[in-house]
Amino acid sequence: MNRLKTSLGKLSFNNPITVASGTFGIDYQQFYDLNLLGAIVTKTITPELKKGNPTPRVYETECGMLNSIGLQNPGIDEFIKTTVQDYKHFTNPLIVSFSASTIDEFCEMLTKLEAIDFIKGYEVNVSCPNVENEGLAFGVDEKIVYQLTKKLSELTKKELIIKLSPNVTDIVSIAKAAEEGGASSVALINTLLGMAIDWKTGKSMIRRGVAGYSGVGVKPVALQMVYRVHQAISIPILAMGGIQNYQDCLEFIYAGASMLAIGTSQFSDPTLPITIINDLKDHFDSNKITIDEIKGKVWGIA
Q: Which of 17, 37, 40, 71 forms a contact with ligand FMN (CB under 6 A)? A: 71
* Shortest Å, Cβ 179 to ligand FMN: 19
Cβ distance to ligand FMN smaller for residue 220 or 285: 220
Residue 163 lies near ligand FMN (rule: CB under 6 A): yes
Residue 214 near ligand FMN by CB under 6 A: yes
Binding mask 109-128 for ligand FMN (x = CB under 6 A): ----------------x---
**Nearest-CB residue for ligand FMN:** 22
63 is known as an active-site residue: no
| 276 contacts ligand FMN (rule: CB under 6 A) | no
191 binds ligand FMN (CB under 6 A): yes
We find the least distance from the C-beta atom of residue 263 to ligand FMN, in angstroms, to be 2
The span from the CA of 45 to the CA of 222, in Å, is: 24
Piece of the chain touching ligand FMN by CB under 6 A; list 2-10, 62-70, 111-119, 175-183:
62-70
Task: List, by residue number, the catalytic residues.
Answer: 128
